[in-house]
DNA sequence: CCGGGGATTATCT
DNA sequence: GATAATCCCCGGC
């Protein structure tokens, strides 16, 4: 188990990183309790040019300030007044690229995750979707702006590399307001994993082009 | 299986 | 005052 080096995040192609981070493992240690899960769904948000991004047009506010920080910073914000979203900041300082972690396949600490989410039994909703996974993993706004260099929440590789045939590419979820940019194929997920979010329709079978991005 | 709508509040205009 | 990178439940097939 190796923690991803900052160099992994500090690259210029956020779409490529969103694809490569699939299969990596998020581990949180909150109050001494360890929970972990494998990343099975992500979305890339491409800095200033992307209408779906909080940083579109170079917008810079108190909320999205961490997007402009150094690679490997966490951008955590509340959506719809009640859901916590975990993003990984990539690229150089002042370039507001970020990756939304949309789903995990739970590995360690399922009992704790059930407790945090108030669920009775393990089913595919435990860590399906960004709001659910943050809740299950104990991620809160208190982690906003912190680095993945820290041990409390970090991302690791266990050496497993997804075969290309298992990666599917699609438009992003919930960004209809972004005009033509809503169609950009910036979402990646693991084929057939039951913890992947989205409707059957948005998950129409297909496979990521090997040469994309 | 599918679509519609309510929940609930931080954030920006 | 309106909107939002969501989730869950409900009703109708």
Please report, rounded to whole angstroms, the spatial distance between the CA atom of protein residue A169 and the C1' atom of nucleotide B1: 24
**Mean pLDDT across A107-115:** 97
Whether A161 is in a domain gets the answer yes
Residue A200 pLDDT: 83
Q: What are phi and psi of A79, to 5 degrees?
A: -115, 145
pLDDT of A105 above 90: yes
Residue A202 pLDDT: 83
Confidence band of A41 (pLDDT split at 50, 70, 90): very high
Whether A120 is in a domain gets the answer yes
Domain of A128?
A: 2-190
Residue A93 pLDDT: 98
Whether A80 is in a domain gets the answer yes
**Mean pLDDT across A185-203:** 92
Looking up tokens 């075969």 gives A163
Q: Nearest nucleotide (C1') to the CA of residue A96?
A: C5
Please report, rounded to whole angstroms, the spatial distance between the CA atom of protein residue A124 and the C1' atom of nucleotide C8: 14
Residue A175 pLDDT: 93
Whether A149 is in a domain gets the answer yes
Express each pLDDT in A113-164 by its tens digit: 999 999 999 999 999 999 999 999 999 999 999 999 999 999 999 999 999 9
Rounded to 10°, the helix A110-117/A130-137 angle is: 110
Looking up tokens 């990183």 gives A17
| CATH number of the domain bearing residue A25 | 3.10.300.10
Q: Nearest nucleotide (C1') to the CA of residue A54?
A: C5
CA distances from A195 to A20, A39, A78, A111, A173 (A): 18, 10, 21, 17, 15
Give me the number of domains chain A comprises. Answer: 1
Q: Which of chain B's bases lie under 7 Å from a protein CB?
A: 1-3, 7-13
Neighbours of A172 (CB within 10 A): 24
Residue A132 pLDDT: 97
Looking up tokens 């979305």 gives A43
* % of chain A residues with pLDDT over 90: 91
Residue A42 contacts by C-beta under 8 Å, 6 or more apart in sequence?
Answer: A18, A19, A21, A22, A99, A100, A101, A102, A187, A188, A189
Whether A116 is in a domain gets the answer yes
| Bond from prior residue into A190 cis (ω within 30 degrees of 0) | no
Residue A106 pLDDT: 97
Whether A202 is in a domain gets the answer no
Confidence band of A87 (pLDDT split at 50, 70, 90): very high
Whether A195 is in a domain gets the answer no
Residue A201 pLDDT: 81
Furthest-apart CA atoms within chain A: distance in Å: 45
Whether A208 is in a domain gets the answer no
pTM score above 0.85: yes
Please report, rounded to whole angstroms, the spatial distance between the CA atom of protein residue A129 and the C1' atom of nucleotide B2: 19
pLDDT of A16 above 90: yes
Helix/strand/coil for A115: helix
CA distances from A7 to A72, A140, A209 (A): 9, 25, 25
């Amino acid at each position: 188990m190796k923690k991803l080096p900052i160099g992994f995040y500090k690259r210029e192609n956020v779409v490529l990183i969103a694809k490569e981070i699939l299969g990596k493992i998020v581990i949180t240690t909150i109050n001494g309790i360890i929970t972990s899960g494998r990343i099975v769904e992500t979305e890339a948000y491409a800095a200033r040019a992307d209408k779906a991004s909080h940083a579109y047009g170079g917008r810079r506010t108190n909320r999205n300030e961490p997007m402009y920080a150094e690679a490997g910073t966490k951008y955590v914000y509340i959506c719809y007044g009640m859901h916590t979203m975990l993003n990984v900041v990539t690229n150089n300082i002042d370039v507001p690229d970020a990756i939304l972690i949309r789903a995990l396949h739970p590995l360690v600490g399922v009992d704790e995750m059930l407790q945090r989410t108030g669920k009775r039994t393990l089913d595919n909703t435990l860590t399906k979707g960004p709001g659910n996974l943050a809740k299950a993993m104990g991620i809160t706004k208190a982690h906003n702006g912190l680095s993945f260099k820290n041990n409390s929440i970090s991302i690791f590789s266990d050496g497993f590399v997804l075969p290309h045939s298992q990666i599917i590419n699609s438009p992003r979820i919930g960004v209809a307001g972004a005009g033509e940019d809503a169609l950009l194929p910036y979402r990646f997920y693991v084929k057939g994993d039951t913890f992947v979010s989205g409707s059957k329709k948005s998950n129409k079978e297909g496979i990521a082009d090997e040469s994309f991005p």
